[in-house]
């Protein structure tokens, strides 16, 4: 897979050193362990978008629109972080065709008065779907602007009625070796787990998403249901969710466990707090800014200043 210069990001800005080493091991072992059968599947599913052909009706919500140019669909669906399908940005689009999104069940459990287990249709009926155009900022230094279809997570939270012990919300992604080639390798402690404070999860910006660009989510973008948290770095937005659990204690999240010095629990977009190995003060917009173009300034909370009150009085260098 090759990219136009306008799509490229400097390697030092996108890939932690340990991930580069892992990627080499992954590619080498994939050829040996999986053999021709896996390679044939990867070829057959290259850039597979089994869900992308299905339209998804959602009413545009003008309260959630940014004026930036939208990222091209092709760029948004072929440049992805989804380690369950490989660590290279192009791998998810090539291998995610193996993901089966029907039937799908999401369990909502833990510190709630009304636990639920919903299939995808039941989950999508919780509230009317809205189209919202959000900026997304990756911790690695790149960004996109994507129209999503979904509803505020708060609609679901109100249905299950968290009890007085509920302080956090934990999201667990599918981890199935038979469908996800990346699960075979211990780059992370599978399944992928992310979490929010309950008040963060209740914020209207926190979107439970089922589609993008007027279609259901492509597999490589987190089908069939994912979180979209536009004021946080992209890895906080859990994909292919199978469980939502309400807890009294802060969840142990995937990247925070793997590299706590680099990936804090909060991970709010903050240009004033550098990643240990690079600055977070600027970014490149995928598909728009060329590799040698001047970068954009990164905005505090990715420009979503309405969330600032959630962190009033907190030391955002300590709680990064």
What pLDDT digit, counting tens, does each position of 177-231 carry? 999 999 999 999 999 999 999 999 999 999 999 999 999 999 999 999 999 999 9
What pLDDT digit, counting tens, does each position of 125-147 carry? 999 999 999 999 999 999 999 99
Q: Name the residue among 144, 141, 234, 245 with its Cα closest to residue 191.
A: 245
**Calpha distance 95→82 (Å, rounded):** 11
What pLDDT digit, counting tens, does each position of 68-100 carry? 999 999 999 999 999 999 999 999 999 999 999
Domain ranges of the chain: 5-311
Q: Name the residue among 280, 296, 278 with its Cα closest to residue 12.
A: 278
**Calpha distance 218→240 (Å, rounded):** 11
Give the number of C-alpha atoms closer than 13 A to the C-alpha of residue 308, restricted to the C-beta side.
8
What are the start-end ranges of the H helices in 163-259? 198-202, 254-258
pTM: 0.84
Topology of domain 5-311, per CATH?
Sulfite Oxidase; Chain A, domain 2 (3.90.420)
**Backbone dihedral angles phi then psi of residue 129, each to the nearest 5 degrees:** -80, 140
> What residue has token string 């992370």?
188
**Calpha distance 185→293 (Å, rounded):** 36
- Close Cβ partners of 64 (under 8 Å, ≥ 6 residues apart): 130, 132, 133, 134, 205
């Amino acid at each position: 897979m090759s990219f136009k210069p306008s799509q490229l990001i400097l390697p030092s800005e996108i890939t932690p050193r340990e991930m580069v080493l892992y990627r080499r091991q992954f590619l080498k072992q994939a050829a040996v362990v999986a053999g021709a059968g896996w390679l044939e599947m990867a070829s057959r599913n290259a850039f597979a978008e089994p869900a992308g052909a299905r339209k998804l009706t959602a009413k545009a919500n003008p309260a959630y629109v940014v004026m930036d140019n939208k990222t091209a669909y092709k760029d948004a669906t072929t440049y992805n972080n989804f380690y369950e399908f490989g660590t290279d940005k192009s791998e998810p689009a090539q291998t995610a065709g193996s993901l089966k999104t029907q039937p799908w069940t999401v369990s909502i459990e833990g510190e709630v008065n009304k636990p639920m287990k919903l299939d995808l249709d039941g989950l999508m009926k919780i509230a009317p779907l809205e189209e919202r155009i959000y900026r997304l900022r990756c911790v690695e230094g790149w960004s996109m602007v994507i129209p999503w279809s979904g509803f505020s997570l708060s609609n679901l939270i109100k249905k299950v009625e968290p009890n007085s012990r509920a302080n956090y919300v934990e999201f667990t992604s599918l981890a199935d070796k038979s469908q996800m080639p990346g699960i075979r390798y211990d780059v992370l402690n599978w399944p992928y787990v992310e979490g929010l404070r309950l008040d963060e999860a209740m914020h209207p910006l926190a979107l439970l998403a089922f589609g993008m660009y007027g279609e259901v989510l492509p597999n490589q973008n987190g089908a069939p249901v994912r979180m979209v948290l536009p004021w946080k770095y992209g890895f906080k937005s859990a994909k292919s969710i199978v469980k939502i659990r309400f807890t009294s204690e802060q969840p142990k999240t995937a990247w925070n466990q793997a590299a706590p010095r680099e990936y804090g629990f909060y991970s709010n977009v903050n240009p004033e707090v550098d990643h240990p190995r690079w600055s977070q003060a600027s970014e490149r917009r995928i598909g728009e800014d060329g590799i040698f173009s001047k970068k954009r300034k990164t905005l505090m909370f990715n420009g979503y200043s309405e969330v600032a009150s959630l962190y009033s009085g907190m030391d955002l260098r300590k709680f990064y």
